[in-house]
Amino acid sequence: MTDLLRAGFARLWRAPVFWLGVAFMALCGGMVCCTVYDGSRNGIVYFMGDLCRYHCIVTVFLPAVFCALFLGTEYEHGVIRNKLVAGKTRPAVYLSSLALSLAACFLMIGVYFLPVVCIGPLFTEGLGVSPGTLALTVCGELLMAAALCGLCTLGSMLISRKAILAVTLLLAVLAGLAVGGHVESRLAEQEFFQGIMMNDEGQLVDAGEMENPGFLTGTKREVYQFIADFLPTGQALLYNFDMMVHPWAMCFYSLLILSASTAGGLLAFRRKDLK
């Protein structure tokens, strides 16, 4: 497996998709810093904890794009068959692909943090949260990306057509964001809202606080919260909008998804017919 990783990283450093991802994330970090600079000049207060969350929605696309364009070419060019013919085991091939996916995504995310960490403190008012909370949030974001890498690697090793793989992964991410967005919007609803009514003279007057019939309560809210905590795309939205309720549970779910997708992928890849 060491030889597979060495060859994989040598290919990674020459891959245009990796360097495009690096440049894009660096641009995202720079744009966030510019936004914070402009906002601070207008009296808006930002914290470093906010800057460390703004990449999450973009991050969910990194594993899908990278796996589709980097790992997806291995079937088309016969690289996987050549690895097996050379005596490499299927588990080693699968795990080396997963390791490359994880390393590439973590490096791209790390590039986002470079301008944020170097420039952000100049225009922010401290962390905004405790160091432990910030560390847990960043760790959760990385685990969320790892879970997505596990799922995208699973798809990359089982779908041999590059075009079908790219469409499948991108549609899956978009569908996940749509589901997560709906769940997040329902969870964000307020229990009460300021009512307005029209009096006999036709004027709008304050009706006081009114109960929101769409506010989730009881078991239904717990189910919605679980979906948001469990789905990596739901986690991305929760991190981005600072709506984490169960951060430790979110980390556990990400590890669970990564482990389950890897175990399932290893079993399925061992039985896959590589023509």
7-24 pLDDT, tens digit per residue, is: 889 989 999 999 999 999
Handedness of CA 221, 222, 228, 231 (dihedral sign): negative
In a domain, 247, yes or no: yes
In a domain, 266, yes or no: yes
In a domain, 202, yes or no: no
In a domain, 65, yes or no: yes
Please give the tally of structural domains in the chain. 1
In a domain, 222, yes or no: no
**Burial label, 252 (beta-carbon count in 10 A; 0-12, 13-18, 19+):** middle
Which two three-digit tokens encode residue 260? 């389950």
Cβ within 8 Å of residue 42, ≥6 positions away: none
Instruction: Give this prediction's pTM.
Output: 0.90
The answer to which of 59-63, 146-150, 203-207 has the lowest mean pLDDT is: 203-207
In a domain, 186, yes or no: no
In a domain, 34, yes or no: yes
pLDDT tens digit string along 217-273? 889 989 999 999 999 999 999 999 888 989 999 999 999 999 999 999 999 988 877
In a domain, 223, yes or no: no
Residue 77 confidence class, pLDDT cut points 50, 70, 90: confident
Whether 196 shows a pLDDT value over 70: the answer reads no
Range of the domain at 30: 2-171+240-271
Which two three-digit tokens encode residue 189? 């609803």
